[in-house]
């Protein structure tokens, strides 16, 4: 019994001592990962290869051919104009097919949502996935003229973004002129907007789109629309030639 008590006392003494550990040296080593590290599992490879080959084939499918590189820029650019125009055209067609007795007035594409440029020449499905890697869907919202003006002010403060159906002048980061279909914005009127579900839910600080008068969720992905719309345009008109048209401009 005495020995047991002494043993426990010794354990308590040892754990009660404060030990200060000091790092004297740190060594690192890079280990390259290549075919020499481990052999390829033939069974796994045989299972994965058909899926990988199928995906690779789908991604390499030609969508369209462009006469120039489509690169996003501000206050407007060929890329932002193209995507916004496609959204607005889709919105009009969608409303007509659904017998909604309305048509969108404007489209908005948040600048940060476009993650890559499209090359001059062949544009493939892979390029569209790089441009739009998100699962964003197309949404139509009915907003007030006041919300429209707030959207324009946000765009002006950012130096421009992607729009269609409107014309915006910017001076010193503020709205200097604003029209929709050639007419001034009426604060008491209502306007239909086509955009992404991300922006419609207030993403990228677009809180003016939240709590709209009406909202329509199309359940159609923007990426899928771009592939379809650009493919149809290429088959119909040939090489795609996108222009900038002054829909957003800086005033001195």
Contact 125, 63 (CB under 8 A): yes
Beta strands in 11-145 (DSSP E): 62-66, 106-109, 121-124, 137-144
| Residues of the domain holding 118 | 58-250
- What CATH number does the domain containing 128 carry? 3.90.780.10
* 25 within some domain: no
Three-class secondary structure of residue 46 per DSSP: helix
Which tokens belong to 194? 């086509």
* 34 within some domain: no
Distance CA 61, CA 87 (A): 22
Is this prediction's pTM over 0.75?
yes
Q: What is the pLDDT along the chain (252 residues), one digit of tens a residue?
A: 455 444 444 444 444 555 556 666 767 776 666 655 556 677 776 667 666 666 776 799 999 999 999 999 999 999 999 999 999 999 999 999 999 999 999 999 999 999 999 999 999 999 999 999 999 999 999 999 999 999 999 999 999 999 999 999 999 999 999 999 999 999 999 999 999 999 999 999 999 999 999 999 999 999 999 999 999 999 999 999 999 999 999 998
Return the residue matching tokens 């604003």.
178
* 115 within some domain: yes
* 84 within some domain: yes
| Number of residues in the chain | 252
* 33 within some domain: no
Number of domains in the chain: 1
């Amino acid at each position: 019994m005495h020995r047991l008590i002494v043993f426990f006392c010794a354990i308590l003494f040892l754990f009660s001592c404060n030990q200060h550990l000091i790092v004297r040296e740190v060594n690192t080593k890079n280990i390259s990962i290549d075919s020499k590290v481990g052999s390829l599992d033939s069974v796994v490879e045989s299972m994965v290869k058909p899926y990988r080959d199928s995906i690779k084939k789908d991604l390499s499918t030609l969508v369209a051919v462009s006469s120039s590189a489509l690169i996003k820029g501000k206050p407007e650019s060929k890329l932002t104009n193209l995507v916004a125009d496609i959204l607005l055209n889709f919105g009009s067609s969608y409303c007509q097919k659904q017998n909604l007795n309305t048509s969108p007035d404007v489209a908005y594409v948040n600048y940060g949502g476009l993650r890559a440029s499209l090359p001059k020449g062949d544009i493939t499905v892979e390029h569209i996935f790089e441009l739009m890697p998100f699962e964003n869907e197309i949404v139509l919202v009915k907003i007030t003229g006041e919300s429209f003006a707030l959207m324009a002010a946000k765009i002006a403060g950012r130096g421009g973004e992607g729009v269609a159906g409107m014309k915006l002048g910017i001076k010193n980061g503020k709205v200097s002129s604003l029209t929709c279909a050639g007419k001034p914005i009426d604060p008491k009127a209502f306007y239909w907007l086509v955009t992404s579900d991300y922006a419609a839910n207030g993403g990228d600080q677009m809180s003016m789109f939240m709590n709209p008068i009406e909202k329509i969720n199309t359940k159609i992905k923007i990426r899928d629309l771009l592939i379809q719309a650009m493919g149809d345009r290429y088959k119909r008109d040939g090489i795609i030639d996108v222009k900038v048209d002054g829909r957003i401009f800086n005033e001195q």
